Amino acid sequence: MKNIRVKCPAKLNLTLEVVNRREDGFHNIKSIMQLISLYDFLDIKVEKSSQNEIILDGTSKEIPYNEKNLVYKAAKLFLDEAFIDGFKLDIFIEKNIPIAAGLAGGSTDAAGTIWGLNKLFGEPLSREKLHEICAKLGSDLNVCLEGGCLLTSSRGEKVNKLPVANYFVTLIKPKYLGISAGEAYTKYDKKPREDKDYTGKMVTALNKGEDIKKLLYNDLEYAVYDDYEELQKIRQKLPNSIMSGSGSTYFVLDDCAVDFGDSYQVIKGLKFIETGVEEV
């Protein structure tokens, strides 16, 4: 039996601008994504078996531990792409990243699965091939595989490295509100915004080492904000906060002393990081 423990970081969208709707139903975006020091952990074990078998378990009661889980899909696709047969995979997911939060919790776990399995099997696939697999599974996996700060385009799977700034981060999430990407993009399509190119402005600021706090921006926040009092409460108390991804998590690039009560989860003391998924 071989095993590996992988830490899988959450991501933030420092900017998220919708370019257009694609013929396949997805949307082209331009976004700057940054990995942060909030992690899920995967314990992956592999052993010989009569046939391929994938068994999932974990600490969260909010996610399925079957073929619907993105980790399961990632493991199966890796085995298929690497032409590996006759192994039992046991994957335990220690969930610390909030669910349906705009933080890429499922995507980072899937990217960590692909990366970890490639390590356990002696790296049969190149880094380029790992990125190809990630792109097949979702929009944020490539970011989580690559790590650091990234300018992303297309659906979010095309990535280019940017300098990592030095900020502390506080997350604020309504405990009982999750917003799907499908909902957020559908609502955006009904009231699109003019392109203000916050992404391009932030690329310039990052390359010059300038402050980026006033350039945080998210088209999807604009799309869903009016529909949820929970989001409005965050913005009212923290005017400089911004939503990540399709939500419902907001963040500020600072420490936060505001009390939001029991109906919100607040995670303080996080930092921007240079890395993506990696072995513990």
3-state secondary structure 157-218: CEEEEECCCCCEEEEEEECCCCCCHHHHHHHHHHCCCCCCCHHHHHHHHHHHCCCCHHHCEE
Asked if residue 36 has pLDDT above 80, the reply is: yes
Which one of 40, 109, 140, 219 is the catalytic residue? 140
Give the mean model confidence (pLDDT) for residues 201-228.
96
Q: What is the pLDDT of residue 251?
A: 97
Please write the tens of the pLDDT for every residue from 221-233.
Answer: 999 999 999 999 9
Phi first, then psi: what are they for 108, rounded to 5°? -65, -35
Alpha carbon distance 190, 100 (integer Å): 22
Q: What is the pLDDT of residue 27?
A: 85
Which residue blocks in 25-180 are alpha helix, DSSP H?
A: 70-81, 105-120, 127-137, 141-146
Give the mean model confidence (pLDDT) for residues 107-118.
98
Alpha carbon distance 166, 187 (integer Å): 34
Q: What is the pLDDT of residue 24?
A: 81
Cα dihedral sign for 93, 96, 97, 101?
positive
Grade residue 139 by pLDDT with cuts at 50, 70 and 90: confident
Write down the residue that tokens 């890429």 correspond to: 104
Grade residue 22 by pLDDT with cuts at 50, 70 and 90: confident
- Diameter of the chain measured on Cα atoms: 58
- Using a 10 angstrom Cβ sphere, with 0-12 exposed, 13-18 middle and 19 or more buried, the burial of residue 265 is middle
Pairing of strands 250-252, 264-271: unpaired
The amino acid that residue 158 corresponds to is K
- Give the 3-state secondary structure of residue 112: helix
Phi first, then psi: what are they for 243, rounded to 5°? -80, 145
Cβ(249)–Cβ(267) below 8 Å = no
Residue 37 is encoded by which pair of tokens?
């020091």
Asked if residue 279 has pLDDT above 90, the reply is: yes
Pairing of strands 53-58, 168-174: unpaired
* Peptide bond between residue 248 and the one before it cis (omega within 30 degrees of 0): yes
Enter the CATH code of domain 1-280: 3.30.230.10
Q: What is the pLDDT of residue 257?
A: 75
Domain ranges for the chain: 1-280
State yes or no: is 219 an active-site residue. Answer: no
Which one of 7, 11, 73, 173 is the catalytic residue? 11
- Which of the given ranges, 86-95, 157-166, 182-191, has the highest pLDDT on average? 86-95
Q: Go through 221-238 and write b for each residue having 16 or more CB atoms within 10 A of its CB, e for each that does not.
A: bbbbbeeeebbebbeeeb
The 10 Å Cβ neighbour count of residue 96 is 16
State yes or no: is 227 an active-site residue. Answer: no
- Give the 3-state secondary structure of residue 142: helix
Q: What is the pLDDT of residue 21?
A: 81
